[in-house]
Amino acid sequence: MSLAIFDLDNTLLGIDSDHAWGEFLVEQGAVDPVSYREANQRFLAAYQDGTLDIHAYLALALKPLADNSPEQLAAWHQQFMASKIEPHVLPKGEELLARHRERGDTLLIITATNRFITGPIARRLGVDELIAVDPEVAEGRYTGRVSGTPSFREGKIERLDEWLASRDVTLDDAWFYSDSHNDLPLLEKVDHPVAVDPDATLERIARERNWRIISLR
């Protein structure tokens, strides 16, 4: 039995769920349509370029969680799952999860998108183990701040090491599937790195290192 680790956005999903949630909030009138959309696009471009300031981004992304009640957020997320996520669940991604599940592997999603967004998505995909950015909660409401280390770039390794230390699981013979060059630190740590519909930078590096390249589209 091995550990099979999966990035979520643009890997198992055909979209970036974090960016899609921002667009959904604009459509609901929950945020300023001009300034929020501009910032959302700017941070997405920075992520793609490898220059994202994760804490600056999270200050934007987590504020709507603090500004709205848990009941409103839950109602919105239900709509979000139906309208934005379900159409972009990749059947080949589900088949890949099923193959690892049938092998008896431990399935883990690790993502830089926050747990409010990704928890229901992981459940939809049948993956029990999730490492995500954890929004801070106080007295039953989100504060708009992050709790602990964001699971982004090297932060994914830190959070994974914490996760491994609490379980009888190792990285021996582990797999990691990702589309993004931002995940190079973790791709370099596993025995089976796989580039999934990779961005240009990751595709170049994967070819140089003879890593497997696949498409789930």
| CA atoms of 1 and 175, how far apart (whole Å) | 11
What is the CB neighbour count within 10 angstroms for residue 29? 8
Q: Considering 9, 16, 105, 183, which one is annotated as catalytic?
A: 9
9 is annotated as an active-site residue: yes
Angstrom CA distances, 30 to 87, 89, 123, 170, stand at: 23, 25, 26, 42
Q: Considering 7, 16, 18, 179, which one is annotated as catalytic?
A: 7
Which amino acid, one-letter code, is at 14?
G
Instruction: Please report how many Cα atoms fall inside a 13 Å half-sphere around the Cα of residue 174, on the Cβ side.
Output: 20
168 is annotated as an active-site residue: no
Angstrom CA distances, 27 to 18, 34, 80, 139, 177, stand at: 15, 11, 11, 29, 32
User: So which residues are the catalytic ones?
Assistant: 7, 9
